[in-house]
Structure 1
């Protein structure tokens, strides 16, 4: 019988204090039992020569070792050597951690813990729960290891290494994460820690079920998904660099988003938002409930309204409700309306029925809308987006930049992701790209040439707007599939716009009861569609704040304030 089951070494500091403890496992029988207990746990040193174990890990082995000893002792022919070695291990644990166990027993009666005993809450592979992230979302993670550390300012913290299931834009799988529990005085409720075992959560069963369902949602959203979003998201401020990394900032996102980790990585190769990076791949279809529990609370994507790449909380994502009747609200000639609808509805991302002689050319659908501001050009694109159920990516020419190389790079990005996502792309005020070239302005000529070249191989749907109908470069004529000019709104059209805006008020407010004469009176004012929409929105906001229904007097008050020369228009 090998009487030496384990060897304990105390590492003494310069001050003569015990700095750390190391335990060598001399018994092969004990080593095998410990390997069985911690099967699948990474970072074990039990297969080294000599086999070693962290004293805290040996402490966490106490329940399993006790159970194993009882089972062996109950056998008709017990293994005396194993019983001896297990007894030695238990003796070490009880002697070395006797005080800690007594304190833990007392603290557990009140569901409390002290900072020096936080480590005891987390055996390897404990399911840890936290909301310590920028989105303040619930997240379950698998605990791997921890250690007490000190910052430069002298404050202490417990550093934790954990794992979760996430998609880093390349693959789905296990990624490493880290958390810190700041030092604190006295005792503290365990579930008040910034991170604690899910098993002590006051609503463990409900929380577990919610996290598993969210994991299912996460897996489903891995397929490129257009969704609605309303809440806080995260992006990078690339104007600010902190310790070599772009500053991570929150922003409020509302409206349509596209969840697509793969395209995010293609467009943001070196972004810190890609972390945690996957170290062990996993298959989405084979995830168990215990693994779905550990799926990330957020996903990489793009906000169309804010035009920002970012990280979006799964809990704030909802299905898109497309407005199939949006065309009914568009004040426009019926023949023109039906033409646009039919052209866009029939177009497919894989190319039209007819192809160009050169492969990859001529597969896009390009439209040009011209007219004064506020006559419905942008609204037409928004309506087409709704009825064809394609997300609208709207960008102004100014957002694409002014330098030739900058415009080329951004235009390539915009055209590619709109093609990939099947978007309807709207380039507002595209005059700079459409103007006739001459021999004087070389920069403008270059911009037009770049746009023409990109347009030639574009395979998506593009609608451009311009305020100047007659200054289009001849080369665009053959590349534009349909052109629509919008006349200024007449009195009949303005009445229809007023009616639509007043019928589309906040859902919590009663529909305004305006007479036909009221609408006719409003229509006499020479306003464009955007001015009418803004006036109606302001009037609704004031009425809602006052808790009163919207009246014609409320509309007139707004018009007197925000619209110049209203009296003259009357």
Structure 2
């Protein structure tokens, strides 16, 4: 015999109908016919093995059942000795409900319930513990329950888990304000053990309400409302009672309810508290106890990326798993400190973690520890320094001049600053929460970065910078006069209003001439004279595309205005040269520069090297235009003399005259002579600090004192290069 089976229709055999006349079972998917089987007995068709004598025939999609088909609860068919019992449509039996006296234990103002997981109904159901173990029958007592304690079993052999549910309204309000998380659900249910790390904060909050109630003085409505909010209550006035009495009554009720919960939790926590106390006495901690060494609301100290200490307030702790680079369990601490965001002091967040370990570990080896009074005072002193650098400040950091400006750091395309906006004060008790770094711009490296606040220093301006500038005295007098006007805000505004209303009014100067003739030094000297930052930007940084040029130029001018800086745009030839009919793109660049620059209200220098003809529209917008000629013998003599004086090197008049005859520009002379340490050097305004140039490097390499012989060696090499280069150009 042979067997043909359908696609596992035996799974649905419990609902098949049967024909009383044929002994054939029907279902919507298949008809099972039994013929000539050996004598066997099965409890259901699903037990029938694939063997000769059984055949499965698939009917049409909509089979017609015989008119005598019936749907009994159980069908038993006997054919040729085969006894087959088959169930029809199942009728769900109603489960017995255990006696409440055996599944619930009334306690002192809370109810303890025993529950077990029902996989069929997918929920916890009442569990009669006395069925599986002998226990005294709880006494029925009439209590007002402030919460339910549910002892839940996964199965009859598992250990129970204690869950807290059905909180009273005052208890729930308190838990929402102190614990949060799942307590904002409509009907929260939490493990008892999950509340252990919050006990300290809960007790501290409740103690505030206790002290309030025990106080003998008469409380104002404002004081009552403050306490109510601190414990999570909302003010509800009842008819016939004053607001104060109503609020005090609500606080009393909450304290009574929460005290019952706290008493139970602290009793359950005692074994763990003993473990924590023992580990702490030896300075050690087990991994599962870390959550009790770092509680929410506690102040801790950790280190930042500079390995500097920072204080934070713990917000939450938790255990979690990470899968990369390998699966592991970690303990996390998340907290916050305070930092200046450009307009106010706001929170910044810190997260630290510890990988799971076996046994114990020294508490001091953790990436965080409790904040002690000594470190707190150190951080407080640093915090005062930090607040002194809120806003915009011109400083020196690692021998380089920098701008401290958090607002600009977050808005690097520029912003509008209100110089009269006051800096808010931070409470002294929160100063220790401030970080070790401030943010801003490095004027030398042109990088947006951070600076350690304890390493920032005041700028030492060069009082003689203007004297070092080798330039026609009439031109120097004119520039200085224009600059002096910008130092006085009142006279500056008066001058602007008298000339043009609503437009610019700043000092816009064009410095034109070959390299090394003093153009950059002029801008640097003006910045020193004004005691302002010098913000240098190359034309290549502004883009050669008109749309990008306008955006970048506006950004640059915005930052220069916010910092009250002297702005130097180097090699601005492409913006200033006369427009023509054949270079439309360059014409657009000139138009953009004209439109944007005329509204700048600060001090702006534009330097050019190779420009042939200035655009007429620009000529009318310059405050002053200066032509720097090639240095003559007297100019080179003056520059050589100044740099030798700065390098503390004595040179005879004859040697000085020989050097002055050589065709070097000012920058070449500067590079050939050594620069002395910062306190004596005027060129510190270019790059502050000790700068070693070619001749001094030569002296150091031969372990000799710097002298004229080293200058002559370098000058001969430089002359040879210039001669060969000029020959190549010809």
Q: Check conservation: 1:62, 1:93, Cα contact below 8 A.
A: no
How big is the shift at 1:159? Answer: 2.3
Q: Secondary structure in 2 aligned to 1:302? A: strand
How big is the shift at 1:357? Answer: 7.3
RMSD of the TM alignment (CA)?
Answer: 4.1
Q: Secondary structure in 1 aligned to 2:463? A: coil
Q: Secondary structure in 2 aligned to 1:445? A: helix
Q: Deviations over 1:192-221 (max 9, x none)?
A: 43333223xxxx51x323321222222222
Matches within 5 A, 1:266-305: 266-267=411-412, 285-305=424-444
How big is the shift at 1:46? Answer: 9.5
Q: Secondary structure in 2 aligned to 1:353? A: helix
Per the alignment, residue 343 of structure 1 pairs with 482
Per the alignment, residue 695 of structure 2 pairs with 539
1:386/1:214 CA distance change after superposition, 3 Å = same
TM-score, normalised with respect to structure 1 = 0.76
1:469/1:286 CA distance change after superposition, 3 Å = closer
Per the alignment, residue 90 of structure 1 pairs with 266
**Which of 320, 333, 346 pairs up with 1:149?**
320
How big is the shift at 1:566? Answer: 7.6
In the alignment, structure 1 residue 326 sits paired with structure 2 residue 482: no
How big is the shift at 1:287? Answer: 2.4
Q: For 1:545 and 1:444, how far apart are their aligned partners in 2?
A: 49
Q: Check conservation: 2:440, 2:448, Cα contact below 8 A.
A: yes
Per the alignment, residue 390 of structure 2 pairs with 222
Q: Check conservation: 1:181, 1:193, Cα contact below 8 A.
A: yes
Q: For 1:183 and 1:192, how far apart are their aligned partners in 2?
A: 14
How big is the shift at 1:543? Answer: 4.6
**Whose Rg is larger?**
2
Q: Secondary structure in 1 aligned to 2:304? A: coil
Q: For 2:496 and 2:203, how far apart are their aligned partners in 1?
A: 74
Q: For 2:400 and 2:551, how far apart are their aligned partners in 1?
A: 26
1:258/1:92 CA distance change after superposition, 3 Å = same
Q: For 2:192 and 2:463, how far apart are their aligned partners in 1?
A: 63
1:415/1:158 CA distance change after superposition, 3 Å = same
How big is the shift at 1:426? Answer: 0.7
Q: Secondary structure in 1 aligned to 2:522? A: helix
Q: For 1:13 and 1:99, how far apart are their aligned partners in 2?
A: 28
Unpaired runs of at least 5, structure 2: 1-107, 112-145, 215-254, 415-421, 674-692, 726-730
Per the alignment, residue 662 of structure 2 pairs with 525
Q: Check conservation: 1:129, 1:198, Cα contact below 8 A.
A: yes
Q: For 2:276 and 2:636, how far apart are their aligned partners in 1?
A: 79
Per the alignment, residue 549 of structure 2 pairs with 407
1:487/1:218 CA distance change after superposition, 3 Å = same
Q: For 1:219 and 1:18, how far apart are their aligned partners in 2?
A: 56
**Which of 575, 583, 586 pairs up with 1:441?**
583
Q: For 2:159 and 2:449, how far apart are their aligned partners in 1?
A: 48
Q: Secondary structure in 1 aligned to 2:394? A: strand
Q: For 2:321 and 2:482, how far apart are their aligned partners in 1?
A: 65
**How many corresponding residue pairs?**
508
Per the alignment, residue 257 of structure 1 pairs with 402
Q: Deviations over 1:243-271 (max 9, x none)?
A: xxxxxxxxxxx6222222233434469xx
1:563/1:182 CA distance change after superposition, 3 Å = farther
Per the alignment, residue 139 of structure 1 pairs with 310
How big is the shift at 1:561? Answer: 5.2
1:411/1:286 CA distance change after superposition, 3 Å = closer
Per the alignment, residue 368 of structure 1 pairs with 510
Q: For 2:313 and 2:534, how far apart are their aligned partners in 1?
A: 39
1:22/1:388 CA distance change after superposition, 3 Å = farther
Q: For 1:140 and 1:474, how far apart are their aligned partners in 2?
A: 61
Q: For 1:86 and 1:41, how far apart are their aligned partners in 2?
A: 13
Per the alignment, residue 250 of structure 1 pairs with none
Q: Secondary structure in 1 aligned to 2:517? A: coil
TM-score, normalised with respect to structure 2 = 0.61
Q: Check conservation: 1:356, 1:362, Cα contact below 8 A.
A: no
Q: For 1:193 and 1:100, how far apart are their aligned partners in 2?
A: 16
Q: For 1:20 and 1:313, how far apart are their aligned partners in 2?
A: 51
Q: For 1:22 and 1:375, how far apart are their aligned partners in 2?
A: 84
Q: For 1:132 and 1:361, how far apart are their aligned partners in 2?
A: 47
Q: Check conservation: 1:401, 1:407, Cα contact below 8 A.
A: yes
How big is the shift at 1:112? Answer: 4.0
